[in-house]
Amino acid sequence: MAEMLSDRYAEDIERACEFLRSCDDALVVSHVQPDGDAISSTLVIGWLLDKWNKTYRLVNENGVPGRLRDLPMADQIGSYADEDAPEKKYETVICVDCADYARIGKIANWIAPDARILNIDHHPTNDRYGEAALIRHNAAATAEILYDLLLAAGVELDEQVGTMLYTGLLTDTGGFRYSNTTPHVMSVASELLKLGVEGNTIAERLLETMSMAQLKLIQRGLSRLTFTPDQRIGWLFITPEDMRETGAVNEDLEGLVNYARNVEGVDVGLLFKQIDEQSVKVSMRSSERVDVSAIAQSFGGGGHVRAAGCKVSGALDDIIRQVVERVKQEL
């Protein structure tokens, strides 16, 4: 596996290891509304810093989504709202799974302006911010990069860190189904299973189980599913009332956009989540034909070729019209 990796990548791994070995009192942070890979990657860094007897703090703006709370060490990750601000701003920061620095959200308030930053990520739109950047665009997950890093660091893996890494791989590949499920991903997953990781239990919890609130939200979303006359673009929307009345939380929105995208013949699926009267979060999913990261970037967002997103200011109806028109231009 290692020989497939470029010299540049190997050097970046080495530099990242040096950064981690020499750091202390580090803030480990992932993006706002963290997903499985963001949480897993945060935990893996914490696990490694424990091995090396470093002090650190794990945090993100929103804390750990409910279905990820069973992960080892997950109770160590704090949220911006629930944690006390540090007395002194952090001078050393490790950002995982964050395409750009702004994606850490309000946590930026806890960080010194001249802080040393290590940036570990796999998003194609990552701009290599920070003092040290470890980026591999063709990695399926940040967790996949961290597996390479742990091997290079020469630490012995155990079931605990295996469970974290496996969770990142599983969630960012959609259960080992997306096109990013490479031979390398599968061989890493295989190594992790050998550590005793319970792949089936993790999959059951993260891919199969649904909360009642999530089901009710899907019900509402589906009742509004709309397509262009040629049925190549499909979309649905969710309002703040939907969230309130169903008792759903943000993580319950995950996968909803796929109901639009997965219909036969549809090239792009869109989910519009109204945040308030003046802003809407847009999630985009595409078939191989369309690069939604470019579309998202034109609205100030970013992401991957087949999965991207952005936040747009304006009224819901206007934004739906604008984004659908923009997608039409790409077909």
Among 148, 172, 251, 252, binds Mn ion (CB under 5 A): 172
Alpha carbon of 296 to those of 91, 149, 259, 265: distances in Å?
32, 30, 19, 22
Can residue 97 be called a binding residue for Mn ion (CB under 5 A)?
yes
Binding range to Mn ion, per CB under 5 A, among 62-70, 125-133, 149-157, 169-177: 169-177
Question: In this structure, what are the phi and psi dihedrals at residue 327, rounded to the nearest 5 degrees?
Answer: -65, -40
Binding mask 251-280 for Mn ion (x = CB under 5 A): ------------------------------
Residue (30 or 286) nearer to Mn ion, CB: 30
Smallest gap, in angstroms, from Cβ of residue 143 to Mn ion? 8
Among the listed residues 91, 95, 115, the one whose alpha carbon sits nearest the alpha carbon of residue 105: 95
Among 37, 61, 254, 267, binds Mn ion (CB under 5 A): 37
Give the count of residues interacting with Mn ion (CB under 5 A).
5
Specify the DSSP element, H or E, that contains 227: strand 226-227
Specify the DSSP element, H or E, that contains 125: none
Binding mask 121-150 for Mn ion (x = CB under 5 A): --------------------xx--------
Smallest gap, in angstroms, from Cβ of residue 23 to Mn ion? 22
By beta carbon distance, the residue nearest Mn ion is 37
Residue 105 near residue 61, CB atoms below 8 Å: yes
Alpha helix positions (H), 157-306: 159-172, 183-194, 199-203, 212-222, 240-246, 256-261, 292-298
Smallest gap, in angstroms, from Cβ of residue 206 to Mn ion? 14
Give the amino acid at 129.
Y
Binding range to Mn ion, per CB under 5 A, among 124-132, 167-175, 205-213, 254-262: 167-175
Residue (34 or 221) nearer to Mn ion, CB: 34
Longest alpha-carbon distance in the chain: 60
Among the listed residues 146, 166, 164, 163, the one whose alpha carbon sits nearest the alpha carbon of residue 155: 146
Smallest gap, in angstroms, from Cβ of residue 30 to Mn ion? 9
Smallest gap, in angstroms, from Cβ of residue 141 to Mn ion? 5
CA-CA distance, 282 to 272, in Å (whole number)? Answer: 5
Binding range to Mn ion, per CB under 5 A, among 8-16, 86-94, 164-172, 246-254: 164-172
Smallest gap, in angstroms, from Cβ of residue 146 to Mn ion? 11
- The β-bridge relationship of strands 279-286 and 268-276 is antiparallel
Residue 148 near residue 121, CB atoms below 8 Å: no
- Any bridge partners for residue 90, and if so which? 111
Smallest gap, in angstroms, from Cβ of residue 258 to Mn ion? 17
Q: Which residues contact Mn ion by CB under 5 A? A: 37, 97, 141-142, 172
